[in-house]
């Protein structure tokens, strides 16, 4: 595993977002001296702004913007995407697919400017739906993406872009690395506004119930659907390890701790110190019935797997969201994502 040369420039697209904002900070903390962070959002809406980075606002759906972002960069972490939780990707399929413009143009820019390595953040949403029909799901192995039947819209774009990375490697020699992220969460993640994922949504709803005194919570689906959720620190560690590795095919990057949404709510209620009446919204966006990460390959190739348990990660996430909600309510500047 060759470490990245800290003297060479590194680009993070989506640097104004959740994972990208953390990755820029981590690269700076590791001693990378030339970190470029690019996002299409105005900097005032960035989840984290790192003054030691070169921060740029560019709409990376355009080729010229991607060329400008990629110019002179040795390493490119391409995390930029129009995405969110099930409440967003189920109702914005065309917009999610337009991320293919970002991925296509970023690959073209990486090739044109001779990037040494390129990382693409793929997703567990590439996995075939017919392997995710049971809450008692068999953990998904990398081969389970084929025969292809990914999540409509968002999943198809991620799978297509994986294959583009592969062909830019085969045809043009670009060293591309791909991780399939399994539902990443943590402080500075989106927690309100419609793009939030389940963990942040449940934290927000529990806090709202506690603050309002109305001790009930709305849960999408019947609560028996299952997922695994990966804490941001594991995501960063795995992303950097995969970028530095010689792993040429897409690889799972996710927790193997399977929980039902009802169990997720149990954990958050325990953190908050209360029990709520549960109302189930059966017509809400539900996604697949069950999904978990099979970590056989990452353990074999990297000798590691994500291991921060949900109870630990949720405690930190809950506290952070609580602080954001208090700040928002008292009018103090809420730092971080909405």
Residues in contact with ligand GKE by CB under 6 A are 83, 85-87, 89, 123-125, 181-183, 196-198, 201, 219-221, 225, 227, 261, 284-287
Pairing of strands 54-57, 35-39: parallel
State in angstroms the smallest separation of the CB of 53 from ligand GKE.
25
Q: Which residue of the set 154, 181, 185, 318 is catalytic?
A: 154
Which residue, 71 or 275, has its beta carbon nearer to ligand GKE?
275
In this structure, is the dihedral angle defined by the CA atoms of residues 187, 193, 195 and 197, taken in order, positive or negative? positive
Which residue, 70 or 125, has its beta carbon nearer to ligand GKE?
125
Specify the 3-state DSSP secondary structure of 78. Answer: strand
Is 154 an annotated catalytic residue? Answer: yes
Residues 6 or more apart whose CB falls under 8 angstroms from that of 102 comprise 13, 60, 61, 66, 78, 80, 81
State in angstroms the smallest separation of the CB of 38 from ligand GKE.
21
Is residue 228 within 8 Å of 271, Cβ to Cβ?
Answer: no
Which residue, 201 or 207, has its beta carbon nearer to ligand GKE?
201
State in angstroms the smallest separation of the CB of 70 from ligand GKE.
25
Rounded to an integer, what distance in angstroms lies between the CA atom of residue 2 and that of residue 287?
Answer: 38
Which residue, 124 or 276, has its beta carbon nearer to ligand GKE?
124
State in angstroms the smallest separation of the CB of 193 from ligand GKE.
11
* 100 CB burial (10 A radius; 0-12, 13-18, 19+): middle
Phi, psi at 290, each rounded to 5°: -155, 140
Active site residues: 154
């Amino acid at each position: 595993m060759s470490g990245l040369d800290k003297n060479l420039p590194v680009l993070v697209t989506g640097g104004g977002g959740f994972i990208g904002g953390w990755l820029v900070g981590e690269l700076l903390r590791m001693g990378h001296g030339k970190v470029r962070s690019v996002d299409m959002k105005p900097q005032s809406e960035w989840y984290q702004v790192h003054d030691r980075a070169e921060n740029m606002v560019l709409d990376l759906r355009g080729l010229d913007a991607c060329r400008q972002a990629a110019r002179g960069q040795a390493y490119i972490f391409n995390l930029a995407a129009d995405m969110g939780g099930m409440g967003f990707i189920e109702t914005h399929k065309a917009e999610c697919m337009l991320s293919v413009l970002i991925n296509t143009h970023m690959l073209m820019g990486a090739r044109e400017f001779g990037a040494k390595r390129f990382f693409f953040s793929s997703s567990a949403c590439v996995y075939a739906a017919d392997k995710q029909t049971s809450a008692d799901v068999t953990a998904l192995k990398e081969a389970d993406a084929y025969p292809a039947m990914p999540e409509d819209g968002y999943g198809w774009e991620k799978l297509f872009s994986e294959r583009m990375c592969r062909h830019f490697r085969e045809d043009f020699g670009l060293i591309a690395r791909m991780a399939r992220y399994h539902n990443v969460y943590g402080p500075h993640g989106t927690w309100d506004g419609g793009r939030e994922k389940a963990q942040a949504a449940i934290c927000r709803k529990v806090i709202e119930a506690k603050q309002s005194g109305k001790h009930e919570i709305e849960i999408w689906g019947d609560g028996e659907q299952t997922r695994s959720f990966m804490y941001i620190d594991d995501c960063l560690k795995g992303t950097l390890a995969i970028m530095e590795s010689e792993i040429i095919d897409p690889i799972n990057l996710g927790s193997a701790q399977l929980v039902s949404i009802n169990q997720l709510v149990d954990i958050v209620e325990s953190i908050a110190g209360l029990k709520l009446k549960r109302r189930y919204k059966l017509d809400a966006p539900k996604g697949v019935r069950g999904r978990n990460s099979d970590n056989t390959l990452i353990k074999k190739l990297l000798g590691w797997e994500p291991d921060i348990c949900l109870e630990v990660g949720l405690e930190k996430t809950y506290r952070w969201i609580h602080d954001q909600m208090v700040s928002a309510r008292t009018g103090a500047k809420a730092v971080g994502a909405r």
